Structure 1
Amino acid sequence: MNPIYAIGDIHGQKEMLDHALALIVADGGENAQIVFVGDYTDRGPDSRAVIDTLIAGRNAGRDWVFLKGNHDRFFTRFIRHGTQHDPRVKSGINWLNPRLGGATTLASYGVEAEVHFTTDRKTGLEIIKDCKGPDGPMDAAGLHKKAQRAVPATHVDFLENLPLWYETEDLLFVHAGLRPGLPITAQDPEDLLWIRQPFLDSTHDFGKLVVHGHTALDYPQHFGNRVDLDGGAGYHRPLFPAVFEGRDCWILTGHGRVRLTP
């Protein structure tokens, strides 16, 4: 049985990604299969370098599987269309708000902007009031145009075309989770990217062990029917790579494997 490695939400943490990849190579070699569960961008300091690393691995023929995360879609929608909100963010905050981290992502591409927000009285959405870059003030449309010029089309194409799930005989990988009781082919793509409840509290047997990210913890945790690998790298906690042999799971550390059990 060949092991399968997995990496949770990276959120622009290039140094953490390099460390996680080194741990995987030390455990399984250069040709190890790795599944990345999404959220490569936002909050951390170097989303651009993270995506460069993933694309370079793909182009080198690595056995790497990439899933799309909700933050990755946030990013591409802003670049394509200037979209600053997603209906699943009930607070209405803007993608460029530090809580979501879009401005940090743009900064990694050289688009520096100090953004100030206000609330639209009709929609309740947080909108850009004004922003200022190194060359002076600009409006939201100006920031969008600047971002479009700075972000390589190869990065947008890469993220837009990623699948929402990947499965093996024993494992089902997805970014956020699943709606209990529905087969994977009947799942709403919005749930695969965004769901928390009722997934997180469910004891449903999904048939396979679900491996996901999206909901940040202090450390990866095994819940019996699912494993949450988001250890909070987006909040400057460590990025923890994992290895699976069948449904058995270990976290990789500098001192070797640490078994993760329910």
Structure 2
Amino acid sequence: MQDTVVYAIGDVHGCYSELRSLEQKILLDALPFRGRKIIIMLGDYVDRGPNSKRVLDHLVAPAPKGFLRVCLAGNHEVAMLGYLDGHLSRELWLAIGGLETLYSYGVDPARLSDLYGSSDEVDRRIREAIPASHVSFMRTLPVMVCSRKFVFVHAGIRPGIDLVDQDEDDLLNIRAEFFEQAHLLDRWVVHGHTIVDAPKFEGHRLGIDTGAFRSGRLTAVRIVGKHGKLLSSAS
């Protein structure tokens, strides 16, 4: 990765204006670099924040000029697909931030319930409101990107298990086992999923989810070789 600059961006959660602000800072920061430029999104683009639809519209569109953009899956994309596919109840999805996502599509599930009564009809109307391009985008998201020295993933990895043998549920949801054994990792792991006030290395991991939907701060880390630098939408 010596000739490559990587910008990993933490959990967006519907914070479209923060994402655009951070991208502009990344474009300026990347101007001196002449090699490959990659943006890695660490998942959780939807739920909780106000503009999930605009975030997905943006990520479905081409990356900024001169950049490759890789978008990873987060547990909230999996939950949204779970509801759309009928594997997760509407109530469970709405409770973890799906309500704000539906509002961003101009859908009020309470209003639909008043209009139609039938829960199945309400679900059908909701599913019709989500663009097919957004659904197909979420279905094709990888769960991990790795190089010889770095792993990029939504939640973390289970230490002591080869990357090819990692369980997808761990990659999307793990916390305690990953945190407690981070000193055992043989690569640097950059992840989101768990909110931190200020990113800092803990063992061989760096969590960069700064809770944009409640803090107003979306964070990225720039990696060139073995050197890192933090960027924030709020600074």
Match of 1:250 in 2: 229
Which residues of 2 match residues 218-229 of structure 1 at below 5 A? 218-229=197-208
Shift, 1:224, TM fit: 3.2
Q: Is the 8 A contact 1:209 1:247 kept in 2?
A: no
Q: 2:55 aligned with 1:50, yes or no?
A: yes
TM-score (norm 1): 0.80
Aligned-partner Cα distance in 1 for 2:187–2:64:
30
Match of 2:149 in 1: 170
Q: 2:103 aligned with 1:107, yes or no?
A: yes
Query: Partner letter of residue 51 of structure 2?
Result: D
Q: Is the 8 A contact 2:183 2:203 kept in 1?
A: no
Which residues of 2 match residues 231-250 of structure 1 at below 5 A? 231-250=210-229
Aligned to 1:3, what secondary structure does the other structure show? strand
Q: Is the 8 A contact 2:195 2:211 kept in 1?
A: yes
Aligned-partner Cα distance in 2 for 1:254–1:238:
6
Unaligned runs of 5+ in 2: none
Shift, 1:59, TM fit: 10
> Which has the larger helix fraction?
2
Aligned-partner Cα distance in 2 for 1:7–1:71:
16
Match of 2:13 in 1: 11
List per-residue Cα deviations over 1:146-188 (Å, max 9, x = no partner): 1111101111111111111001232100100111100111111
Match of 1:65 in 2: 70
Aligned-partner Cα distance in 2 for 1:170–1:53:
30
Q: Is the 8 A contact 2:81 2:135 kept in 1?
A: yes
Aligned-partner Cα distance in 2 for 1:239–1:9:
7
**Pair 1:246–1:170, CA change in 2 (3 A):** farther
Which residues of 2 match residues 207-218 of structure 1 at below 5 A? 207-218=186-197
**Pair 1:220–1:140, CA change in 2 (3 A):** farther
Match of 2:83 in 1: 78
Aligned-partner Cα distance in 1 for 2:106–2:66:
29
TM-score (norm 2): 0.89
Q: Is the 8 A contact 1:42 1:234 kept in 2?
A: no
Q: Is the 8 A contact 1:218 1:237 kept in 2?
A: no
Shift, 1:137, TM fit: 5.4
Match of 1:203 in 2: 182
Q: Is the 8 A contact 1:25 1:32 kept in 2?
A: no
Greater length-normalized contact order (CA 8 Å, ≥ 6 residues apart): 2
What root-mean-square deviation, in Å, do the aligned CA atoms of Structure 1 and Structure 2 show? Answer: 2.4
Query: Partner letter of residue 98 of structure 2?
Result: G
Match of 1:36 in 2: 41
Shift, 1:203, TM fit: 3.4
Shift, 1:193, TM fit: 0.5
Shift, 1:82, TM fit: 5.7
Q: Is the 8 A contact 1:24 1:32 kept in 2?
A: no
**Pair 1:254–1:45, CA change in 2 (3 A):** closer
Aligned to 2:229, what secondary structure does the other structure show? strand
List per-residue Cα deviations over 1:22-77 (Å, max 9, x = no partner): 11001004973100010000000110110111111259784001100000111112
Query: Partner letter of residue 185 of structure 2?
Result: F
Q: Is the 8 A contact 2:9 2:40 kept in 1?
A: yes
Q: Percent identity?
A: 35
Query: Partner letter of residue 50 of structure 1?
Result: V
Aligned-partner Cα distance in 1 for 2:27–2:63:
16
Unaligned runs of 5+ in 1: 86-92, 115-131, 257-262
